[in-house]
């Protein structure tokens, strides 16, 4: 490496941000997801617009659709209502905010009552949060909800040389402690796991450490893991690729990880299919392979591989 990773270095390589309206969500969608009890239920996912996360993780590109200033009071309830007025009914809701739900400058705590009121019809609520942002404010919010509550947290990788370099500012112990705290409060957890994080450039090692990270997360007590292929395009990742410090994952590697993670049978495993074409070297089979992954997300069973000359 020719430089040490820091917040200022990560920001130095960024392209410009998008101009965001704090009174409208960035995006929202209706989908389905298998639940802990094995039932597939409709899910409304809202990508909220709010203040940028203070943790400048090397691989993150979510900052593109965030605000530079603290989120105005009342803006988050307005965004949620805006989306729900346009979405069909669902049993589960995900509130993803490109950072941390329990960062008070991203989601003002004065809005908790109004937010909880808007979520009163949902059986299950999922938000995302940093493992270090743990405290009584979480249980205060949970107590306002009539249904069950879940928090998704980025573990990313347990590789001893990778995790300290991601600028996430957590350790494996931080993650274990967060899951333990939340479990004691009757809050379920899921983990985000990276395939091919920066600073690990051997294909076989990437598969090995991704699976080790999934197993670690389950052993820590999470109920689900989402495997995410690491992408460039955020500035610093493009630079790391030029330096040989980042290797884009292959679709075959992602499929291997998903297959083997499901075989662990320790909990639900989901595979991110957004922009999956970016990791494929074959236009003939990408549609069928994407469809296979999507079906495996729903069924949690390993399906026969797609036959193609590109394998």
Cα distance between residue 237 and residue 61, in whole Å: 9
Considering the entire predicted model, what is its pTM? 0.96
> pLDDT band for position 310 (50/70/90)?
confident
**Average pLDDT along the chain:** 96
As a whole number, mean pLDDT of residues 197-209 equals 98
Phi, psi of 270, rounded to the nearest 5 degrees: -120, 145
Which of these, 98, 163, 101, lies nearest to 129 by C-alpha position?
Answer: 101
pLDDT tens for each residue of 138-169: 999 999 999 999 999 999 999 999 999 999 99
pLDDT for 244 equals: 96
> pLDDT band for position 182 (50/70/90)?
very high
Set out the domains of the chain in order of their start, with CATH numbers: 7-299 (3.20.20.70)
Instruction: Provide, rounded to the nearest whole percent, the portion of the chain with pLDDT above 90.
Output: 95
pLDDT above 80 (res 263): yes
pLDDT for 191 equals: 98
Six token digits for residue 245: 């410090």
pLDDT for 16 equals: 94
> pLDDT band for position 3 (50/70/90)?
low
Please give the C-alpha separations between residue 81 and each of 60, 75, 92, 138, in angstroms, as whole numbers. 27, 10, 15, 22
* Burial per residue of 236-260, b for 16 or more beta-carbon CB atoms within 10 angstroms, e otherwise: bbebbbeeebbbebbbbbbbbbbbb
pLDDT tens for each residue of 114-142: 999 999 999 999 999 999 999 999 999 99
Does residue 90 contact residue 124 with C-beta atoms inside 8 Å? Answer: no
pLDDT for 2 equals: 56
Please give the C-alpha separations between residue 291 and each of 66, 224, 275, 286, 305, in angstroms, as whole numbers. 31, 21, 13, 8, 11
pLDDT for 4 equals: 84
Cα distance between residue 191 and residue 44, in whole Å: 19
Does residue 26 contact residue 17 with C-beta atoms inside 8 Å? Answer: no
As a whole number, mean pLDDT of residues 236-244 equals 97
What angle, rounded to 10 degrees, do the helices at 251-264 and 286-299 form? 20
pLDDT above 60 (res 295): yes
pLDDT for 309 equals: 81
pLDDT tens for each residue of 90-109: 999 999 999 999 999 999 99
As a whole number, mean pLDDT of residues 286-309 equals 95
pLDDT above 70 (res 235): yes
């Amino acid at each position: 490496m020719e430089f040490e990773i820091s917040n200022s270095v990560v920001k130095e390589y960024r392209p410009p941000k998008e101009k965001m309206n704090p009174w409208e969500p960035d995006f929202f969608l209706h989908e389905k997801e298998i639940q802990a009890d094995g039932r597939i239920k409709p899910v409304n996912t809202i990508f909220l617009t709010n203040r940028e996360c203070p943790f400048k993780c090397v691989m993150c590109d979510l900052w593109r659709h965030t605000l530079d200033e603290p989120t105005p009071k009342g803006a988050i309830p307005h965004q949620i209502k805006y989306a729900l007025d346009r979405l069909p009914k669902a049993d589960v809701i995900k509130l993803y905010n490109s950072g941390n739900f329990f960062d008070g400058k991203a989601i003002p705590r004065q809005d908790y009552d109004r937010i909880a009121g808007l979520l009163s019809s949902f059986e299950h609520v999922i938000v995302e949060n940093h493992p270090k942002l743990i405290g009584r404010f979480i249980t205060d919010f949970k107590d306002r909800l009539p249904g069950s509550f879940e928090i998704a947290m980025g573990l990313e990788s347990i590789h001893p040389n990778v995790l300290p370099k991601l600028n996430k500012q957590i350790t494996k112990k931080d993650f274990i402690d967060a899951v333990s705290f939340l479990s004691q409060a009757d809050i379920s957890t899921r983990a985000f796991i990276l395939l091919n994080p920066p600073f690990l450039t051997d294909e076989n090692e990437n598969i090995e450490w991704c699976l080790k990270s999934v197993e670690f997360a389950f052993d820590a007590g999470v109920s689900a893991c989402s495997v995410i292929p690491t992408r460039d395009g955020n500035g610093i990742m493009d630079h790391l690729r030029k330096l040989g410090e980042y290797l884009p994952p292959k679709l075959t590697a992602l499929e291997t990880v998903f297959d083997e993670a499901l075989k662990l049978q320790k909990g639900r495993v989901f595979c991110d299919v957004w922009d999956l074409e970016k990791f494929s070297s074959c236009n003939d089979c990408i549609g069928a392979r994407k469809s296979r992954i999507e079906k495996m997300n729903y069924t949690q069973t390993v399906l026969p591989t797609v036959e193609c000359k590109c394998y």
